[in-house]
Chain A
Amino acid sequence: MSNNIQYGFHVDASKCTGCKTCQISCKDRKDLPVGINWRRVYEYGGGQWTEHGDGTVSQNVFAYYLSIACNHCSEPVCVKACPTGAMHKRREDGLVHVAADLCIGCESCARACPYDAPQIDKDRKVMTKCDGCFERLAEGKQPSCVESCPMRAIDFGPMDELKAKYPGAISPAVAPLPQSSVTTPNLLITPNRHSRPSGATDGEVLNYAEV
């Protein structure tokens, strides 16, 4: 059956304004409760302030947003960590899914994933995560986050097509995300002009309460 299609996302950080429409439209599609966000928008920023004696100040503040869901990685550490095989990578489209009937809610996948993608549903004791809107794909539609973005900052498709469509896009080794070598994510990023590399120390995530 395999036709070796690998789907993935493109996120244009130079366009994203952090409005969170992607996050909310995702929640509406799957009726996710507060506490579970298959798509999250990280606010990363930093900069120093200096007060001068004359009442003036100077600063070098910067910030940018990164909208992140599951990256349907080529080397998914969540799949490796899963003891039951519930977390699996689909042959037909490369999407990483959870088989709810096999999941025992041990959260090994969540501990393994450096992107926070798998999130436990505590009421049902089952792992949940971005499923790439596979049922919308079957209808020829884009994922909810893509079609909802007011800034047109998110795209989705076969990775080879995305690479051709966004020649300036880079692998997502951008703070606050880890180096791409960890999981080989299927995510391309067009950086913001403020973007910092993975592991940068001059900024931090400014919105933990929101992700």
Chain B
Amino acid sequence: MERRSFLKMSAALSCVATVSGCNSSSKDVEVVPPTPPVAGEKLNWSACLVNCGSNCPVQVFSTDGVITRVESQFTTTDKYGDHDVRACPRGRSLRKRVYAPDRLKYPMKRVGPRGSGQFERISWDEALDLVAEKLQDTIYQYGNESIHFTYNSGARYHFSGKQCLYRLMNLKGGYLNAYGDYSWSQIYEAAGQTYGSAGPGWQGSSVSEMQNSDLVLMVGYNPSEIRMSGSGEAYDFLVQKQKHNFKTILIDPRYTDSAVGKEDQWLAIRPGTDAALFEALAYEWITTNTVNQAFLDKYCVGYDEKTMPAGIGYEESYKAYILDNATVGDSIPGVNAKTPEWAAAITGIEAHLIVELARELAAARAPFIQIAASLNRQAAGENNTRAGYMLPILLGQLGLPGTNCGGLCKGSSLHAPSMPTGSNPVKKAISFFTFTQAIEDGKNMTVLSDGVQGVDLDDEGDGKLGTDIKAIINYGGNALINQHSDVRKTEKLLQDEAKCEFILVVDNWMTPSAKFADILLPDVSWLESEDLVNQSYAAGDTASLVQMSTGVDPMFESRPIYEVCVDLARRMGVESEFTEGKSRKEWLDQFYAESKAATPELPAKEQMLTQGIYRKYLPNGGYIVLEDFRTDPDANPLGTPSGKIEIYSSRLAEKARTWKLKEGDVISALPKYVPTWEGYEDTETKKKYPLQLTGYHTKGRAHSSFHNVPWLREAVQDAVWMNPLDANKRGLSTGDKVHIFNDRGTIEVEVKVTPRIMVGVTALGQGAWFLPGGAVDKGGCLNVLTTQRTTPITKGNPQHTNLVEIRKV
């Protein structure tokens, strides 16, 4: 592109208009099936089933079995509350994704070394015989617990999705379970320990509740980038903000697209240091007597001497910790008190701004406080998140109109059933994030060192997993390598066929994970599927049901996984148990009937096939998290041991005493700011790698999905964000190719010099596809740089905690 323009004259920067980090160039020939004579245009409704949190309906127009375009309008008024569920750029690019040159077309068998991407075409019969044989052999040789499903979320079907594979394996004796996930593992723990269940962590108050707030504090909350689709949170937030004009303060290392004029104030903060800010706010409130003492006395455990668990003294209380003074009634701070000045040096936020923030939050009639998932995906993720929950707790601002407990906003929901999986006879479970460790040395993974669950305990209270992973099933997922940490380490591990002996991958495209398959099965795409799906887990205040149908045949030899599983079940001797004697149509009819029973206004299926979507704004009204508990804590106790909010957690105190931790890891009864390895305060590592690198959810992908759509690679550049002050030190300007590196690896990307990021911090959209070629990953996969070291409690992923250096190529 050589467009010159007035617009570009002001910049002395080079215009780089090519697409980076993308496998398929626009020159590649599109795969288009042969076209019989034209017989008019056909409209089918389908949905985008990617794991962004919202399943958006799309109108798919096709002519003679070839998709011609995608649209998304369906109402005429589009008045808020009765508005369209509009797909984001990803949903609108679905045609390119269906016809991507790297679509998997036939079943294939690996012929080269594992990971080489060398395959040969085989027949479905041969492929299914091999898969059935390999799975049965693995069960026979190593037991069901040696078979594992890697985390997967790229195809969120209700009927013909991953559930079918879980169902099949459960009928064959089960598989090694996993708990937690890459998104929210540490949130589940933080909310569980504080509020008694995971729910308040990811199902906080509705976005609509912001209309009753006068101050929305967004700690990392970024709906305009992570929830931008459909009727979703981004639109809900925008409408509420513009209608009600509550004050909005954003705390984030990036000046995100949720800001850009919607914010009243942006406080730039260093990744991993939010907890220090929270402690300074607590200090301000304690020393100015603006904590809600009555709330803390009545609803909480562990704030001060009045609410400590039996046998635990004031010196272990939150107040004593923040003040660094263990004497009851003496409010003179100690030398290690968590003052604004102390937090300022760590967070980068000036002390007077911290004091001002404390004052504004305390003075707010109804502060709505949200602690985003970005804080949980860090080295001290559990503690970061618990520390954030202290803000509404100390102010007593939860369970009331216009408030939130710190959780992610709960989305509205309508019921659509999923293929039942049955129950897994294997009770052993590992953290989702430790599957590579379980391939390497699962035998010696234990409860107290590695968080293994469901094993028999010995006299020490410990117990071993006792088995290695020998087979992996990876359906619609890219966490086998791309979305897991330390890609280079995983690569070596998976290349060793003596360790994990069999890898089955079912997907639509040749993803980096698919390249590591032994057998590769082509699934149909969403636009080639029939299903009834709901809005998914985070679609904001509008719930929906979409009746997907298709006007195009499965591409090449791709097949729905339900049918594949029926064939496998037959080969493995469990066909009648798998199908329960029902045809595909009978399953779908049954699911539809169940949905209609839950939502009687849902029209008949025939009408839904034309209408596409049934939607309802706030079907159950707005939601105020912990409202019942606030109203009557005795009648509605929390799931904590005390039934109250646990600022001091006895269960964590017990874990702190008994668990075997790596050096530097901290489990603490109180929520605490923990300086961590590769954090801002890791001065030793920073000598070599001085820049913090955090990942973020780019608008151009949902995790790694849609990376192979050139339109999106062009629309949202995959470049590492760098502050001008850091760029000047390195002689870098926008568009320069750079290497980002640390001890784990090197990636090559372009740099984007922008004032929209904190000094000393860099950020890269996660999910670009790993493209090895020698020592440098030219795909720009962030996870080449992330570590497999786990977080202390949930053994979750700390993928935003990284130190790196950046240099011009």
Q: Which of B7, B11, B712 contacts A177 (CB 8 A)?
A: B7
Residue B242 lies at the interface, judged by CB distance under 8 Å to chain A: yes
B-contacting residues, A58-103, CB 8 Å: 58-59, 61, 63-65
Q: Is A159 an interface residue (CB 8 A)?
A: no
Docked-complex contact A21 and B755, CB < 8 angstroms:
no
B350 within 8 A of A: yes
- A4 beta carbon closer than 8 Å to chain B: no
Query: Is B755 in contact with A20, judged by CB distance below 8 angstroms?
Result: no
List B482-519 residues whose CB lies under 8 Å from chain A: none
Which positions 198-243 of chain B face chain A at CB distance < 8 Å? Answer: 224-225, 228-230, 232, 234-235, 238, 242
Of B7, B87, B92, the contact of A176 (CB 8 Å cutoff): B7
Which B residue's beta carbon lies closest to that of A12? Answer: B242
Is the CB–CB distance between B261 and A35 below 8 Å? no
| A20 vs B350: C-alpha distance when bound (angstroms) | 35
Cα-based distance from A28 to B71 in the complex (angstroms): 9
A206 vs B752: C-alpha distance when bound (angstroms): 8
Write out the residue numbers on chain A whose beta carbons fall within 8 Å of the beta carbon of B111.
none
Query: Is B268 engaged at the interface, CB distance under 8 Å to the other chain?
Result: yes
Residues A210 and B716 in contact, CB atoms below 8 Å apart: yes
Q: Report whether A210 and B715 are in contact in the complex, using a CB–CB cutoff of 8 Å.
A: yes
Interface size on B, residues (CB 8 A): 75
The contact of A205 among B7, B268, B713, by CB within 8 Å, is B7
Residue of A nearest to B259 (CB): A63
Task: List residues of chain B with CB within 8 A of the CB of A18.
Answer: 224, 257, 260, 699
Chain B residues with CB under 8 Å of A55's CB are 344-346, 348
Residue of A nearest to B16 (CB): A209
A45 within 8 A of B: yes
Contact partner of A192 (CB less than 8 A), chosen from B230, B261, B344, is B261
B417 lies within 8 A of chain A by Cβ: no
Who on chain B is nearest to A60 by CB? B755
Which residue of chain A has its CB nearest to the CB of B25? A34
When the two chains form their complex, are residues B7 and A35 in contact, meaning their CB atoms are under 8 A apart?
no
Tell me whether A178 and B6 are in contact in the complex, defined as CB-CB below 8 angstroms, given that A13-B261, A23-B89 are known contacts: yes
- Given known contacts A116-B3, A150-B235, A208-B734, A61 and B255 CB-to-CB distance under 8 angstroms: yes
Write out the residue numbers on chain B whose beta carbons fall within 8 Å of the beta carbon of A48: 755
- State whether the Cβ of B266 lies closer than 8 Å to any Cβ in chain A: yes
Chain A contacts for B585, CB-based, 8 A? none
B69 x A28 contact (CB < 8 A): yes
When the two chains form their complex, are residues A116 and B5 in contact, meaning their CB atoms are under 8 A apart? yes
Is A52 in the interface zone, CB < 8 Å from B? yes
Interface residues of A in 183-211 (CB under 8 A from B): 192-194, 204-211
Contact with A along B681-723 (1 / 0, CB 8 A): 0000000000000000001000000000011111111010001
- Which of B17, B92, B724 has the most chain A CB within a 10 Å cutoff? B92
Q: Which residue of A is nearest B72, CB measured?
A: A148
Which B residues touch A64, using CB under 8 A?
Answer: 260-261
Q: How far is the CB of B278 from chain A (nearest CB, A)?
A: 17
Closest to B19 in A: A34
Cross-interface CB contact of B3 among A28, A49, A119, A148, cutoff 8 Å: A119
Q: Chain A contacts of B712 at CB under 8 A?
A: 24
Question: Which of B69, B88, B242, B268 lies in contact with A15, CB distance below 8 A?
Answer: B242
User: Complex Cα distance A116/B88, Å?
Assistant: 24
The smallest beta-carbon distance between A191 and chain B, in angstroms, is: 9
Determine the residue in chain A with the shortest Cβ distance to B267.
A59
- Nearest-neighbour CB distance to chain B for A73, whole angstroms, equals 13
A193 to B262, CA, bound (A): 8
Q: Which residues of A contact B16 (CB under 8 A)?
A: 208-209
Determine the chain B residues whose CB is within 8 A of the CB of A211 once the complex forms: 7
Name the A residues within 8 Å of B657 (CB-CB). none
Closest to B709 in A: A24
- B319-351 CB mask vs A (1 if < 8 Å, else 0) is 000000000000000000000000011101111
Query: A158 an interface residue at 8 Å Cβ cutoff?
Result: no
Contacts of A19 in B (CB 8 A): 88-89, 224, 228, 234, 257, 699
Interface centre among A20, A37, A45, A151 (most CB of B within 10 A): A20
Nearest chain B CB to A116's CB is how many angstroms away? 4
Pairwise interchain contact B89-A24, C-beta atoms closer than 8 A: yes
Q: Are B7 and A17 in contact, CB atoms less than 8 angstroms apart?
A: no
Residues in B with CB closer than 8 Å to A56 are 344-345, 348-351
CA distance A14 to B648 in the complex (A): 44
**B359 an interface residue at 8 Å Cβ cutoff?**
no
How far is A18 from B87 in the complex, measured between Cα atoms in Å?
A: 14
A48 (CB) vs chain B CBs: closest residue: B755
Instruction: List CB contacts (< 8 Å) of B6-35 with chain A.
Output: 6-8, 10-11, 13, 15-17, 19, 26
A49 to B753, CA, bound (A): 13
Q: Known: A59-B268, A204-B10. Contact between A119 and B1, CB under 8 A?
A: yes
Check if A171 is an interface residue, CB within 8 A of chain B. Answer: no
Of A45, A49, A110, A148, the contact of B92 (CB 8 Å cutoff): A148
A15 to B260, CA, bound (A): 9
Q: How far is the CB of B450 from chain A (nearest CB, A)?
A: 36
Q: Decide if A157 is an interface residue (CB 8 Å cutoff).
A: no
Q: Does A168 contact B (CB under 8 A)?
A: no
In contact, A49 and B7 (Cβ under 8 angstroms): no
Smallest distance from the beta carbon of A210 to chain B beta carbons, Å? 5
Given contacts A55-B345, A151-B234, A209-B15, contact A25 B92 (CB under 8 A): yes
Asked if A147 and B73 sit within 8 Å, CB to CB, the answer is yes
**C-alpha gap A14/B261 in the complex (Å):** 6
B743 interface residue (CB < 8 Å to A): no
Contacts of B49 in A (CB 8 A): none
- Please name 8 further chain A to chain B contacts, defined as beta carbons within 8 Å, in addition to the given A49-B725, A55-B345, A204-B10, sorted by A numbering: A20-B715, A49-B755, A113-B5, A148-B71, A148-B72, A148-B73, A150-B88, A207-B752
Sample (8) of A-B pairs whose CB atoms are under 8 Å apart: A14-B242, A34-B713, A51-B725, A51-B759, A63-B255, A178-B6, A193-B261, A208-B735
The residues of B with any CB-CB pair to A shorter than 8 Å are 1, 3-8, 10-11, 13, 15-17, 19, 26, 69-73, 78, 86-89, 92-93, 95, 224-225, 228-230, 232, 234-235, 238, 242, 255, 257-261, 266, 268, 344-346, 348-351, 699, 710-717, 719, 723-725, 734-735, 750, 752, 754-756, 758-759
